[in-house]
């Protein structure tokens, strides 16, 4: 009973943060650039044509397959490695969560760090739920879909929420669809923004 209650509280807490983060325009957005200088200059003018997601995959389907492989291996570290780096989220994603023709958002470093810490903590909790539901199963991708149209922002685009229809061995009791959050794309490189998602 305690474990069930703890799991319920975890889910409710995570969903609550999703709603909070959406209010400030962060969920579904990502803008990542290479170079350590970005940690000190999050609002500088950038060459959008040169932007890349550090460690990003060149093929979105390959990223999704790595995601399923991490679940199959019950490997949380491998799962979290598919997320955008936290410092880029803090220093580039948050300032860049604006329309393409708008200036970068001006937030203090303290505020950006607060939202980053909370977002990544909740994303880790969602990773735990994903592993609880799917960890250890052999998962074969059948179909990829998204619940919303592509979103375009200042330095990046985002697709989500991700739904992956799978063949699972052993099979699940419910619908064989893995639900998770948004995928970022920038100049042909892909990574997950976070694993937070709605249940629908």
pTM for this structure?
0.77
- In the block, residue with structure tokens 């650039």: 33
| Separation between Cα atoms, residue 86 and residue 107, nearest integer Å | 16
pLDDT in tens, 117-174: 999 999 999 999 999 999 999 999 999 999 999 999 888 889 999 999 999 999 988 8
pLDDT in the model for residue 87:
83
| Separation between Cα atoms, residue 61 and residue 141, nearest integer Å | 9
pLDDT band at 200 (very low <50, low <70, confident <90, very high): low
């Amino acid at each position: 009973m305690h474990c069930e209650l703890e799991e319920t509280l975890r889910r409710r807490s995570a969903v609550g943060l999703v709603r909070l983060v959406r209010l400030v325009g962060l969920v579904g957005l990502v803008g990542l650039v290479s170079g350590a200088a970005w940690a000190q200059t999050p609002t500088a003018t950038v060459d959008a044509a040169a932007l890349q997601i550090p460690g990003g995959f060149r093929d979105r389907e390959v990223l999704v397959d790595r995601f399923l492989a991490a679940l199959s291996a019950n490997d949380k570290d491998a799962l979290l490695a598919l997320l955008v780096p936290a410092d880029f989220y803090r220093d580039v994603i948050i300032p860049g969560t604006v329309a393409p023709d708008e200036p970068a958002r001006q937030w203090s470093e303290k505020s950006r760090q607060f939202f980053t810490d909370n977002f990544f903590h909740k994303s880790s909790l969602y990773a735990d739920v994903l592993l609880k539901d799917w960890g250890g199963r052999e998962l074969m991708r059948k179909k990829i879909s998204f619940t919303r149209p592509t979103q375009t922002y200042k330095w990046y685009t985002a697709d989500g929420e991700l739904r992956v229809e799978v063949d699972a061995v052993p099979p699940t009791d419910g619908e064989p669809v893995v639900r998770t959050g948004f995928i970022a794309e920038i100049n042909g490189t892909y990574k997950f923004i976070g694993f937070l998602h709605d249940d629908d």
